[in-house]
């Protein structure tokens, strides 16, 4: 299937949000248009476009519903939005416009990064506000090489390059003092962590906020 645009993904996600509240409901075009802040005519045109791709069932003069494939795609988009929101609030401690930023970032996340954030957050099923996180089938048997995961969860006798540090301020300075920086190599041996062969000592709370891509 041709890749969806961000706008198409947003339509699907909004329909999913309505279905989540009323699973049997037919999504009214006017309601969807209001959620998207566009005209009814523009919404009808988009629904027909999505219907042509097999993602939506269009019911003239009544509204539309997600198909099985459309529902699956929409659930994944919503899932990524919620995971990013939790990453920003629970891990990074960001206090800005969480919702707007997460809506922008959800479209740029691929399957591998989604899995890494999911692992970092401890595989959440609900958000702090009680909203259910759409679940997926997780594949823990994925090849260990090239896997992105928190250094807290690194297998013994493994190593990899630091790619992401979800810290700032004093915590970041604490890591820098031990040479824990993006691009440096972390290894684990006998449950001890080393950066460029230097033994480091950090808490589990910090270790779960540092993502490393495992290598050979």
**Helix, strand, or coil (residue 139):** coil
Residue 56: partners with Cβ closer than 8 Å, 6 or more residues away: 12, 15, 47, 50, 64, 65, 66, 67, 70
Q: What is the DSSP letter of 90?
A: I
Q: What is the pLDDT of residues 77-133, one digit of tens each?
A: 999 999 999 988 887 788 888 889 998 899 988 888 888 888 878 788 899 889 999
- Confirm or reject CATH 2.30.30.90 for domain 148-214, answering yes or no: yes
Backbone angles phi, psi at 65, to 5 degrees: -140, 150
Provide the pLDDT for residue 139: 54
- Alpha-carbon distances of 97 from 85, 94, 169, rounded to whole Å: 10, 9, 20
- CATH node for 6-70: 1.10.10.10
**Neighbour count for residue 180 (Cβ, 10 Å):** 24
Is a pLDDT exceeding 50 seen at residue 144?
A: no
Burial class (CB in 10 A: 0-12, 13-18, 19+), 131: exposed
Provide the pLDDT for residue 171: 76
Provide the pLDDT for residue 143: 46
Hey, where are the domains in the chain? 6-70, 148-214
175: left (phi over 0), alpha (psi -120 to 50) or beta: alpha
Between these two residues, 213 and 27, which has the higher pLDDT value? 27
* 140 — pLDDT class (breaks 50, 70, 90): very low
Mean pLDDT of the chain: 87
Burial class (CB in 10 A: 0-12, 13-18, 19+), 47: buried
Q: What is the pLDDT of residues 4-54, one digit of tens each?
A: 999 999 999 999 999 888 888 899 999 999 999 999 999 999 999 999 999
């Amino acid at each position: 299937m041709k890749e969806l645009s961000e706008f198409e993904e947003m339509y699907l996600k909004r329909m999913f949000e309505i279905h989540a509240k009323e699973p049997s409901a037919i999504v009214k075009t006017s309601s969807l248009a209001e959620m998207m802040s566009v005209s009814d005519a523009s919404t009808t045109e988009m629904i027909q476009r999505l219907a042509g791709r097999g993602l939506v069932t269009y019911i003239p003069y009544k509204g539309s519903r997600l198909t099985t494939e459309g529902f699956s795609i929409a659930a994944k988009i919503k899932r990524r939005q919620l995971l990013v929101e939790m990453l920003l609030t629970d891990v990074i401690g960001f206090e800005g416009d969480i919702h707007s930023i997460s809506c922008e970032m959800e479209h740029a996340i691929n399957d591998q990064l989604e899995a890494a954030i999911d692992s970092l957050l401890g595989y959440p099923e609900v958000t702090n506000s009680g909203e259910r996180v759409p679940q997926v089938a997780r594949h823990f048997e994925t090849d260990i090489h090239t896997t992105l995961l928190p250094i807290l969860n690194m297998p013994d006798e493994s190593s990899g390059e630091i790619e992401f540090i979800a810290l700032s301020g004093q915590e970041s300075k604490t890591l820098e003092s031990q040479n824990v920086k993006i691009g440096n190599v972390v290894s684990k041996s006998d449950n001890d962590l080393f950066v460029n062969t230097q033994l480091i000592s950090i808490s589990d709370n910090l270790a779960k906020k540092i993502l490393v891509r495992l290598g050979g």
